[in-house]
Amino acid sequence: MNKIRISAVSYTNTKPFIYGLEHSDILQKIDLSLDNPTDCAQKLIDDVVDIGLIPVAATLNLKHWEIVSDYCIGAVGAVNSVFIFSNCDIKDVTTLQLDPQSRSSNNLAKVLLKNYWKANHLMIINEAVDYAQSTNPQTAFVQIGDRTFGKKEQYQYVYDLAEEWQKFTGLPFVFAAWIANKPVQQDFIDEFNQALKYGLDHRAELLKELPARKDFDFEDYLMHKLDFELTEGKKKALYLFLEYLKEL
């Protein structure tokens, strides 16, 4: 049997899933690669992989897509790893520099700026030479993942995008979901879900393997801030987000 090709995000938020896959017999049935979110999405778009833990915004670039797991990378309120960092109030920002490793979070920032903060006239920079630096006090930037750990104290204004989305819509948010670009057999999906659940059920063991940091609480992040179940509320949020994206 040909192995199922899978791309997963290489950030800490995905480690419970990777732990489950690596401690399950399903590992013998898959070809697993770890990538940043943008590359993960592109691999699925280019049919380099069959399943990807991709930013949900990337589904709009797929001819065919279907959700193949009961789990996701999501949050109910603050997620503590997806931010706009700024030295001024968001309504006074004139330029926003986007994170080159992001799709969903960059687009979430755009959706919130347009529909929630009503900041429709600022300049958005896609490929800043150093997107996370600026001498202009009215320039802010999006940053996601492990690179944000310990950074909240460095900026006067910090906007957690999952928290801001919930303020705007009253809904949780889905940053990434397990998406296939072709039909996948149900028996594999069932085994895949079991492996992912195993990883979530053994987060305490995983936490022992992570290096200690004084500026970031991994236990709070993996056990409380991230919310991994793809609930009906998260599905509703996912499709609402895609509708907002189509209007950008």
pLDDT (tens digit, 9 = 90+) per residue, 67-87?
A: 999 999 999 999 999 999 999
**pLDDT given for residue 129 in this prediction:** 80
- CATH fit for domain 4-74+173-231, picks 3.40.190.10, 1.20.1740.10, 3.40.30.10, 3.40.50.1370: 3.40.190.10
What is the model's pTM?
0.94
User: Do the domains at 4-74+173-231 and 82-169 have one common CATH topology?
Assistant: yes
Sequential DSSP letters for 201-245: HTHHHHHHHSPP-SS--HHHIIIIIEEEE--HHHHHHHHHHHHHH
- CATH fit for domain 82-169, picks 3.20.20.450, 3.40.190.10, 3.40.50.300, 1.10.260.40: 3.40.190.10
Q: What is the pLDDT of residues 116-143, one digit of tens each?
A: 999 988 999 998 888 998 778 999 999 9
Compute the distance between CA of residue 150 and CA of residue 130 in angstroms, rounded to an integer. Answer: 19
- Give the mean pLDDT of the chain: 95
**pLDDT given for residue 79 in this prediction:** 98
Q: Is the separation of the CB atoms in 210 and 12 below 8 Å?
A: yes
Give the rounded percent of residues in the chain with a pLDDT score beyond 90. Answer: 89
Q: Which sign, positive or negative, has the C-alpha torsion 223, 153, 89, 82?
A: negative
Question: Residue 1: pLDDT above 70?
Answer: no
Q: What is the pLDDT of residues 7-66, one digit of tens each?
A: 999 999 999 999 999 999 999 999 999 999 889 999 999 999 999 999 999 999 999 999
Compute the distance between CA of residue 86 and CA of residue 157 in angstroms, rounded to an integer. Answer: 5
Average pLDDT over residues 188-213: 97
Domain ranges of the chain: 4-74+173-231, 82-169
Average pLDDT over residues 218-235: 98
Helices vs. strands in the chain: H and E counts, helices first: 8, 11
Give the rounded percent of residues in the chain with a pLDDT score beyond 70. Answer: 100
What single DSSP character describes residue 187? Answer: H
